[in-house]
Structure 1
Amino acid sequence: MRASSRPWRLSPLTAAVRYGLGLSLVGASSLALAQDDAAEMASDTLVVSATALKVATPLVETPRPVSTVEREELDERNVQRLDETFRYRAGVLSGHYGADNDTDWFKVRGFDQSTYQDGLRIYRTGYYQWLPEPYGLQSVDVFKGPSSILYGEAPAGGLINAVSKRPTAERQGEIELQFGNRDHRQFAFDTSGPATESGDVRYRLVGLYKERDGDLDHTDNERYYFAPSLAVDLSDDTSVTFLASVQKDDGVPTNPFKLLYGTVQDTPFGKVDPQTSYGEPDYDKNERTQASIGYELRHRLDDTWRFEQNLRYSHMDLALRSTYVLAQLDERTAGRGLVYRDGEIDSWTMDNRLIGNWYTDRTENTLLLGVGYQDLGLEGKEADPYPFGSPIDIFDPQYGNFTPVSEDQLTDRKIDKQQTGLYVQDQLRIDDRWVLLGSVRYDQAQTDNVDRTAGTTQRADDDQVSWSGGVMYLGANGINPYLSYTESFEPQASVDDDGRLYEPLEGEQWEAGIKVAPPGWDGYVTAAVFDLEQRNSLVTSPDGGRQEQSGKQTSRGFELEGVGYLTDQLQLTAAYTYTDAEDEDDQRKSLIPRHQASTWLDYAFQEGALQGLKLGGGVRYVGGSVYGDVSVPEYTLVDAMARYDFAGSWRAQVNVNNLTDKEYIASCDYWCYYGESRSVIGSLSYRF
């Protein structure tokens, strides 16, 4: 039942989890959790991840599609935003909205994805965007396709899991300075090690300050970031890791929205300059403060069972004024709209897991029993006026012709959402040749949308059972074929133009693939075909207003990905993606190219006069996309890197993205978006 006016109350299942399991949190309610240390460990040619199954499992022995980017690669490519992470992986599209300085944008297998940090959901509701700082991450995973079975709330595209840096047993540290074009300046530090002589207490402190102009005129952003963490071994069987972070952003938002007219369509006045901004520099702002605190608890009950608990509390304050172009009026002018948000989000996320392992002469069985709980509270004032200000000349914009939003134009809104999930997963290995995987999850979600200005309340109750299964054969030569089925379910904590809550998004996927990791080779190759369907999809409305809900959308495709060393000095990363994505009318979906390909090579000189030098370069190809009858051309970009380690502890590095400064349209939906211009950043770091 939806949009009811019944008094708010907790469901029996939610109440049981909130109050029953909540008893275990007494005295620790201000803490939040981080993910398993085993989440990312290198093991020769294998990567062990807890993202795919919530238990440490080699990715090449998992009948689910997951790709990982480690800290070394994040450093090598000097990733500045989370959505730059998977440029050289299959199945992920980023940069399709240009260089947005206040949002990370991904499409996975043709659909949106959700973002997690340390295995717990990061809420991105409407314009309240939680942005992980890449310098504070140890690795990043992408789970491709529906993933509600273990994570509950998730769209059909999949999820991104950012893994925070955490304390290390060995003492280490780094100080780094960066300078680049668009007035990029950054100072960062990272220090970690044992806090006691025995090493049973370990710490880490990570901090950063950076500022940079946006890719559009009159835009910029300044960021402060600090993340302390502490790991404590309470006994041989029990450990707890505390993680916290605070991040403050202050800037003028980049709105890359451009009209079709002047970008893909010719005009009597030529094309619009890619750096042209249609915002209001003296009025627009994006002031965001985000903070979180939490813990992860690990306790071994006996030789068979262990208990794990994750908890995190997060808070965000947002003051957003963002002016954008909306509708063409004549050959030179267009009307503009404004996004006005002034509010805050508080969220609690918790995951409890009981894991058991049994062994026989021929089998290994891993049973996972879990309970997850999420609580989101959003309240604030909002407005979306159109028109906002006087019409603007899209070829020669003049600013300042507007009247600020007044108090009587604002809607005072409050949204509360609680979601509880119970899940069971069993993984059975037979004769070290077969992996059988089966899972089921039940979710119960409640969402209340209160318009305090109008005095109205809407209520949505949503329940869902999600299924998942998979089978894989482990070949003696490291060739592992698999077949899998997964489902997704995502209640919405946002509203349409009429203030109504959206229906939950639902998805399902079939996939067949092969993972190859030959013994003795430091690398892997994966290939997969998939058939993915999402219902109740959100799309941009024809008039460019808020998103509206459509029917069934599909995505079918093929992915090929490989990462490995060709020699001891030469490493290759390569990916190819074919995606056939269709909307509810069986027409090709906007934004999504059919073809994507990328390759990155780096070579490390290990002896002679050039010892310490590492050179790298990559090519990214993105095929053409469409918006209705409009065709968006393909484009190819070149990236480059040079690094030199010297004097024992010093490192100098230069990264250039879009080396040729190619001008291109990244994609079009109602609007068109120029891709990011050339980025040049130089780094100097001292490691100790």
Structure 2
Amino acid sequence: MADFKFKVLSFSILSLLSSAVFANTDTDTTTPTVLPILNVDAESDQHKYAATKASAVLRSDQPLFETAQSISVITEKQLQQKQAKTLSEAIEGVAGVTSGQYGRRGWDDFIIRGQVASSQTYIDGLRVQTSDNALRSEDISGLQSIEVVKGPTSTGFGFALPGGLVNLTTKRPQAETFYRGSLSYGSYALKDGTFDINYAPNHSAKGAFRVVGHVSDQNDATDYVYFKNYYIAPSYNFDLGDKDELSVIASYQHREFIRQQGIPYSDGAYKNYPHSLYFGATNLSNTVDSYRFGANYTHYFDHDWTFKSNFAVIKTEADNNPVLAGSNNTLPTIKRTVERQIKDDLNFTWDNNVSRHFDWGKTQYDLMIGLDMAHERSDYERRRRTLTAFNANNPVYTAIEAATATIAHQITDTQYMGLYLRNNFKIDDHWIIGLSGRHDWTQVKVDDLFNDSKLKNSDSAFTGSASLMYQMNDMFAPYLSYSTSFFPVSDTGEGGVLLDPEEGKQFEAGVKFQAFNQKLQGYLAYYDLTRKNVTESDSTLGYSVQIGEQKTKGFEAELAAALTPQWNVTATYSYIPTAETTESTTASDIGKRINHVPKNAASLSTQYFFSPDQLGWNIGAGITYQGARTAQRTTYYVPLSSYTLYDVKAGYEAKHWGANFSIKNMFDKEYLVGTTPNAQLVSWGEPRTFRLTLNFKY
């Protein structure tokens, strides 16, 4: 009943507000600040260490300091400081985020506020994929920044799990001509090279062209495991005059890898075996090819209205050949099967909105009305074959043929359309009220080619958010917010019936803060998040089940600051005392902690330049603490101890070149990073590694 009242109240308020706005459209003669195109927003903070905006996910130029929501932005300078190779490494240490919990398996894994969010990756504000049966590993060399949104995001982006999302903002053409590149060499035969070329013939971003490329090849601490990556992304800004802006970007990424399998926990017997042990096939690799084309268009109307259109199409082809461990393994024997997972996806996403700023004297009002839609066709086939058991005491590796017997083949069509309305009021330069509502229509069709059956499920849902913020001064702004979410699933339950959509809601209270002329940005927040109809696949039953309800409650603190022209610092802390299953069809699961979610996590990273112009020598260090966690599934239970990692780096920057040397996990700490989803295999964390990088810039 409370949710129904919230919907009625929200829609009533939104309807009255929008009616009042359009009634006053012709009489308003003020000249507001025009919101720029997405790619220009992404570049506006490019030289800052601490971002002041998150334009792609907010779809506006609204400052983070005036946003009643927890959003972490990892800028390009912070990415350089982290020396990260993957997205999981890049977001490691972000408040409320656990990343890489399944080990070095060749794709991006992360949990946000206690909820798995690995399939909720966006590029330039558009969803990359809806299915999660084969995840991705996005190349981060072509990124300007990474935006991590915490909490439900359905009001802005349609169906989504309530933990949050990760948005990748791509590098776009700039108003200067430059040529940049890097060469790296490191542990486990790491060889890495990048180039970044920008050509601006008119010394303007309009008419400018940019191309970013990346090649990487590295072995792993686990025998026979390797990761190869090739990426290229050209982009171009058209010059269409003052009222129109158009930016296009295309990219191609090829990955080839053998994933780290882990080793059976086997009641702690894993400790008796080397970290390098591999029980898979040395001749069967995994390959993924991803093609993307995106376009951003903006038109500035008379009367101060702005229209924006954001479009992308992504085609992904994957051929994966993992060797899987059977259940109930007792070392040294590991029961095995080999799978071939063939996946072919085609994803279209399109967002359109109109917006305007109104100046009513003491009240500033921003309105946005939008319509977005998406369609994904996912063709997924699984083939399986049983292998001979592996003897961990006497490893023998022979060539293994790819699996040929099909065990599942489905074509899933997922489509949605959402109509959204956003209202933002700033009253007397202190009070900020946000009211947003969205209605989505979704349809999921599953054509089961293996079982010769077809399923179809249509849903619609209203999601909303409301927030209140008070700007005490230019430094502190406390806020309250409430938001809801929904997520239609393509999983089938008992009898082959499509399951109900998942739902979520969150209450959040916090305070934003800034200082040093906005060069320090941060927040402190408390949240209470609930996820209903939690869906999990059950290999024993052979179908998916909705286990019930999960709840997470916690605190987050985060800051990023350029304290001086020479000294940069980021610090984060997460405390999640509650992360448990509160309702379940299995009574014994009630009260159990959610897998891989620590109660405490913290990080501190700093870099110091010996010269104010940041030329010459610089040094840096980082500390990451991960508290104790657990992983459990049915009869399996794995305790994961806490650990602390230390990183150091040193570098020298000249006008046209630079050199950096970094060491990660400096004291070679042995630790378990996590387990597989079924909690049967454990994965060792990355040992001590070094990396030497030479940079060139003209």
**TM-score normalized by the length of structure 2:** 0.88
Indicate conservation of the 8 Å contact 2:339/2:402, yes or no.
Answer: no
Which of 20, 38, 43 matches 2:41?
38
Which of 457, 460, 464 matches 1:460?
457
Aligned residue type for 1:653: N
Determine the structure 1 residue equivalent to 2:388. Answer: 390
Which of 115, 120, 123 matches 1:111?
115
Counterparts of 1:192-271 in structure 2 under 5 Å?
Answer: 192-196=198-202, 200-256=206-262, 258-261=263-266, 265-267=267-269, 271=272
1:343-391: per-residue Cα shift (whole Å, max 9, x none)?
A: 3111100000111111021011111101110100112422355xx2011
Determine the structure 2 residue equivalent to 1:638. Answer: 646
Give 3-state SS (helix, strand or coil) of 1:150's partner: helix
Counterparts of 1:127-166 in structure 2 under 5 Å?
Answer: 127-166=133-172
Aligned residue type for 2:597: I
Quickly say closer, same or farther: Cα 1:99–1:678, change in 2 above 3 A. Answer: farther
Which of 603, 626, 629 matches 1:622?
626
Aligned residues: 643
Give 3-state SS (helix, strand or coil) of 2:321's partner: strand
Determine the structure 2 residue equivalent to 1:685. Answer: 695
Quickly say closer, same or farther: Cα 1:542–1:663, change in 2 above 3 A. Answer: farther
Determine the structure 2 residue equivalent to 1:358. Answer: 358
Q: Could you tell me which runs of 5 or more consecutive residues in structure 1 were left unpaired when the two chains were aligned.
A: 1-33
Which of 543, 563, 566 matches 2:563?
566
- Whole-angstrom distance in 2 between the partners of 1:540 and 1:662: 34
- Whole-angstrom distance in 2 between the partners of 1:285 and 1:400: 14
Determine the structure 1 residue equivalent to 2:511. Answer: 514
Aligned residue type for 2:78: E
Indicate conservation of the 8 Å contact 1:375/1:416, yes or no.
Answer: yes
Q: Could you tell me which runs of 5 or more consecutive residues in structure 2 were left unpaired when the two chains were aligned.
A: 1-36, 584-589
Indicate conservation of the 8 Å contact 2:566/2:612, yes or no.
Answer: no
Query: Are residue 480 (structure 1) and residue 477 (structure 2) matched?
Result: yes
Determine the structure 2 residue equivalent to 1:655. Answer: 662
Give 3-state SS (helix, strand or coil) of 2:388's partner: coil
- Whole-angstrom distance in 2 between the partners of 1:197 and 1:141: 29
Aligned residue type for 1:96: Q
Aligned residue type for 2:646: V
Determine the structure 2 residue equivalent to 1:73. Answer: 78
Indicate conservation of the 8 Å contact 1:390/1:402, yes or no.
Answer: no
Which of 84, 89, 104 matches 1:84?
89
- Whole-angstrom distance in 1 between the partners of 2:502 and 2:475: 37
Query: Are residue 180 (structure 1) and residue 190 (structure 2) matched?
Result: no
Determine the structure 2 residue equivalent to 1:437. Answer: 434
- Whole-angstrom distance in 1 between the partners of 2:205 and 2:509: 45
- Whole-angstrom distance in 1 between the partners of 2:495 and 2:133: 17
1:493-514: per-residue Cα shift (whole Å, max 9, x none)?
A: 4556986544322111100000
Determine the structure 2 residue equivalent to 1:4. Answer: none
Aligned residue type for 1:405: A
Quickly say closer, same or farther: Cα 1:198–1:278, change in 2 above 3 A. Answer: closer
Determine the structure 2 residue equivalent to 1:304. Answer: 304
Identity of aligned residues (%): 27
- Whole-angstrom distance in 2 between the partners of 1:127 and 1:279: 20
1:627-676: per-residue Cα shift (whole Å, max 9, x none)?
A: 35643211111111212113x21110112221122111123434322212
Indicate conservation of the 8 Å contact 2:38/2:56, yes or no.
Answer: no
Counterparts of 1:3-42 in structure 2 under 5 Å?
Answer: 35-39=38-42, 41-42=44-45
Aligned residue type for 2:451: A
Aligned residue type for 1:390: T
- Whole-angstrom distance in 2 between the partners of 1:468 and 1:636: 37
Tell me by how many angstroms 1:606 deviates: 0.3
Counterparts of 1:248-397 in structure 2 under 5 Å?
Answer: 248-256=254-262, 258-261=263-266, 265-267=267-269, 271-282=272-283, 284-384=284-384, 388-397=386-395
Aligned residue type for 1:393: N
Indicate conservation of the 8 Å contact 2:123/2:170, yes or no.
Answer: yes
Give 3-state SS (helix, strand or coil) of 2:52's partner: strand
Indicate conservation of the 8 Å contact 1:308/1:352, yes or no.
Answer: yes
Determine the structure 2 residue equivalent to 1:505. Answer: 502
Give 3-state SS (helix, strand or coil) of 2:456's partner: strand
Query: Are residue 414 (structure 1) and residue 411 (structure 2) matched?
Result: yes
- Whole-angstrom distance in 1 between the partners of 2:452 and 2:537: 28
Tell me by how many angstroms 1:539 deviates: 4.0
Quickly say closer, same or farther: Cα 1:136–1:540, change in 2 above 3 A. Answer: same
Tell me by how many angstroms 1:410 deviates: 4.5
Determine the structure 1 residue equivalent to 2:18. Answer: none
Quickly say closer, same or farther: Cα 1:252–1:497, change in 2 above 3 A. Answer: farther
Higher RCO, 1 or 2 (CA under 8 Å, sep at least 6)? 1
Determine the structure 2 residue equivalent to 1:11. Answer: none
Aligned residue type for 1:479: F
Give 3-state SS (helix, strand or coil) of 2:77's partner: helix
1:463-504: per-residue Cα shift (whole Å, max 9, x none)?
A: 111011111011224110000111122223455698654432
Aligned residue type for 1:462: D
- Whole-angstrom distance in 2 between the partners of 1:499 and 1:649: 62
Aligned residue type for 1:274: H
Tell me by how many angstroms 1:35 deviates: 4.1
Give 3-state SS (helix, strand or coil) of 1:134's partner: coil
- Whole-angstrom distance in 1 between the partners of 2:646 and 2:537: 31
Indicate conservation of the 8 Å contact 1:97/1:674, yes or no.
Answer: no
Give 3-state SS (helix, strand or coil) of 2:79's partner: helix
Aligned residue type for 2:644: T
Tell me by how many angstroms 1:540 deviates: 6.3
Determine the structure 1 residue equivalent to 2:671. Answer: 664
Give 3-state SS (helix, strand or coil) of 1:400's partner: coil
Greater Cα offset, 304-313 or 393-402: 393-402
Tell me by how many angstroms 1:52 deviates: 4.5
